[in-house]
Amino acid sequence: MEIQNAVLFITGANRGLGLAFAQEALRRGAKKVYAGVRNPTETNTPGIVQVKLDVTDAASIIAAAKQCGDTTLLINNAGIARLNSSSLDASMIDLSREIFETNYYGTILVSQAFAPILAKNGGGAVINVLSDATWFSRPMLAAYSASKSAVWSFTNALRIELRNQNTAVSGLHVSFMDTDMTSGFEMKKTSPQDVAQAALSGIEEGKEEILVDDFTKAVKQSFASEKTIYLNPPEIA
Ligand SMILES: NC(=O)c1ccc[n+]([C@@H]2O[C@H](COP(=O)([O-])OP(=O)(O)OC[C@H]3O[C@@H](n4cnc5c(N)ncnc54)[C@H](OP(=O)(O)O)[C@@H]3O)[C@@H](O)[C@H]2O)c1
């Protein structure tokens, strides 16, 4: 689909990748960007409409969908990451539940609320923001990685089902980005602006899986080799 004249609904669009998506969409001529945010603030950026949204709160999702009935492109971007010291750590269960509420159940609830809207508006598209961690786990990111694998699995089911209503569903896979989520960690990071550009170009080209950086591409390719990365994940990539 074309971004020009599209109406986007982006979860978690107040900072990080979500904000970069909003800015890049407007640069490409989007008609409007609904920024789903937990704490709406005074903003006078033309084209951006803040909408109160907490992806762990079903009532706020339903209210947002009611308000944004002209949406043609949904971006499930909101996400959280937490470190666990080990997969065997006692905190692993509570941590997993917390992360899954946002990353997995949040994505499902928002997708369910907006799928009928996309259908009514001609089909449109969905981008689910995933990660290189979709395809391998670092022990200290075990709970987060499991949540992204789960969202990928949901994405694969959703894309098959929504083909019936002409909605294209894409998974966006990216390694570390330079956002608040990785602040304080020294590693190679992609800028969220570059990721937003690659993702929206991917949507315009009709890609169902968008792999942004070389490391993420290497992870996926390595599934076919004996030296697959998920059996030997690097500490930091
Ligand atoms: N940074 C990376 O290295 C990296 C790599 C691969 C994938 N990702 C994924 O990229 C996406 C964006 O992450 P980011 O790097 O931009 O992180 P970020 O800078 O920490 O931003 C996270 C965004 O999600 C929002 N959010 C969190 N919980 C929410 C909730 N319950 N309801 C609504 N909004 C909520 C935050 O809103 P508040 O301001 O209210 O907290 C914020 O806008 C996430 O899905 C993340 O998993 C990140």
Domain 7-231 annotated CATH 3.40.50.720: yes
Identify the weakest region by mean pLDDT among 79-83, 152-156, 221-225.
Answer: 221-225
pLDDT at 236: 59
Tokens 């190679």 appear where? 188
pLDDT at 57: 98
Residue 212 pLDDT exceeds 70: yes
Alpha carbon 218 to chain centroid, angstroms: 20
Cα gap 117→112, rounded to integer Å: 10
Determine the average pLDDT of the residues in 33-58: 93
Using CA atoms, how far residue 197 sits from 4, 17, 25, 110, 203, in Å, is 14, 11, 9, 23, 10
Q: State the distance from the centre of ligand 1 to the C-alpha of 129, rounded, in angstroms.
A: 9
Identify the weakest region by mean pLDDT among 81-90, 111-120, 200-209, 210-219.
Answer: 81-90
39 CA: nearest ligand 1 atom: 40
Tokens 């969220």 appear where? 192
Residue 9 pLDDT exceeds 60: yes
Q: Give me the residue spans of the domains in the chain.
A: 7-231
pLDDT at 235: 72
Q: Is 180 in the pocket of ligand 1 (CB under 6 A)?
A: yes
pLDDT at 45: 85
The secondary structure element, H or E, covering residue 20 is: helix 16-27
Determine the average pLDDT of the residues in 157-185: 97
Q: Is 20 in the pocket of ligand 1 (CB under 6 A)?
A: no
Longest dimension (CA), the chain: 53
